[in-house]
Amino acid sequence: MYQVFLETAPLDEEVELERVSDQLVGSLNDSRLALGAVIGSNPHRRTLDMTCSIDAATDARTAIVLAASELDAHLEALGVAGVRILHAEADPEVIGHDSTDALGDLVTSTEAAEIVGVSRQRFNDLARRAGFPPAFGRIGKAMVYSRSAVQRWADARRESVAA
């Protein structure tokens, strides 16, 4: 079992943060996947966070993807679509490891294309090539990547072009 923490990117101004937070608590209590979900909100930053236990995962990455997918599905059911996950981590004390598995910022292929400095179509071509960081998973319909992995790949690509 993994204890997972997720923090969203700031939500749009038209989203009623308190209402969505309250409704998420109710809908996630019925979840069979995100056990014991606790929802918090930061009205100044306009973010939501979720802490839950994921029993159906074999590793930290899978636990985070499952928790993010569950959060995304519940937000979409409440009419809040396209929410990005800003920070995600699995608690190593719960799973018996010695180091934190913090995965940092997840980005969509569109955002990853901006990091690399190419069009989304060109990014999708690059993402299929050997040596490109694999997609972290899927949140809703969007493929997501580790921002830091994409940034390292882009930096290495720029250095090799400059050499």
Can you count the helices (H) and strands (E) in the chain? 6, 8
pLDDT digits (tens, 9 = 90+) for 112-144: 999 999 998 999 899 888 788 877 666 656 777
pLDDT score, position 37: 80
Q: Going from the N-terminus, what domains does the chain have, and what CATH number goes with each?
A: 2-102 (3.30.70.100), 106-162 (1.10.10)
Please state whether the predicted TM-score (pTM) of the whole model is above 0.75.
no
| Residues forming beta bridges with residue 144, ordered by sequence position | 108, 137
pLDDT score, position 102: 39
pLDDT digits (tens, 9 = 90+) for 22-67: 898 888 877 777 777 888 888 888 999 888 888 766 678 888 888 8
CA atoms within 13 A of residue 14's CA, in its CB half-sphere: 3
